[in-house]
Homo-oligomer: A and B are copies of this chain.
């Protein structure tokens, strides 16, 4: 039986059973983190990365003057803390927005994947590149767009990621983010996020419910955001075929 991998890595390429085995053996015991708990703080030594198996987590960069920017919002299946692998001290604070569960991976085990499970290594590499695209798109919206457009871009982005993770149907998004979180994600103040959400709602593009948002007009939101739609690769032909595929052929 193929073990279930909590990492959303088969998004790009299918992994041979052997790689899945190796990958699942690198996973440490699950660690539960309460709401608002810190998984790791900026400046901490880096000896693990984490797989998020449950809950929502924010990667934050804190400035010396006390301001905070959320650089990435993580959901189920994401790899947490990888950027800091290149550093001696963690670059980001991993803050649990909801109660969450993570499975640590010791860096020593992580590194071994590159020697023992090259296909998994490719998948991890591609996942890192995908994260770079997310960051690039975020820089673009924060640097060059109005609050209204930033919010539209972000809502579209979250909706698409939740869809991939199997956590969203149609345009309905259930989420735990406060308007302060949105502000920290988009480089705004919570007051202005509030006014901007109201504006989007008055224009009929979204509808706010108790703890969620319904995207009433996804196309209009996408146009407002102005970013090109990103189409991710799947089993690219530049990758040598998986052993599994060879058997079938």
In the complex, the answer to whether B143 meets A87 with C-beta atoms within 8 Å is no
Is A78 located at the chain interface by the 8 A CB criterion? no
In the complex, the answer to whether B231 meets A69 with C-beta atoms within 8 Å is no
On chain A, the number of residues with a Cβ less than 8 Å from chain B's Cβ atoms is 70
- In whole angstroms, how far apart are the Cα atoms of A122 and B129 in the complex? 14
Q: Which residue of the partner chain B has the closest CB to A222? A: B64
Is A130 located at the chain interface by the 8 A CB criterion? yes
Taken together, the copies of this chain in the complex come to: 2
| Residues of B with C-beta under 8 A to A186 | 143
A:74-131 near B, CB below 8 Å: 82-89, 91-92, 106-108, 110-112, 114-115, 118-119, 121-122, 124-131
- In whole angstroms, how far apart are the Cα atoms of A171 and B234 in the complex? 46
**Most chain B beta-carbon contacts within 10 A, residue among A72, A89, A91:** A91
| Residues of B with C-beta under 8 A to A138 | 139
In the complex, the answer to whether A136 meets B92 with C-beta atoms within 8 Å is yes
| Residues of B with C-beta under 8 A to A115 | 118, 240
| Residues of B with C-beta under 8 A to A85 | 125-126, 129, 233
Task: Tell whether A114 pairs with B111 under 8 Å between CB atoms, given A88-B231, A135-B136, A140-B69.
Answer: no
> Which A residues contact B (CB, under 8 angstroms)?
12, 42-43, 47, 59, 61, 63-65, 67-69, 71-72, 82-89, 91-92, 106-108, 110-112, 114-115, 118-119, 121-122, 124-133, 135-140, 142-145, 186-187, 223, 226-228, 230-233, 236, 238-240
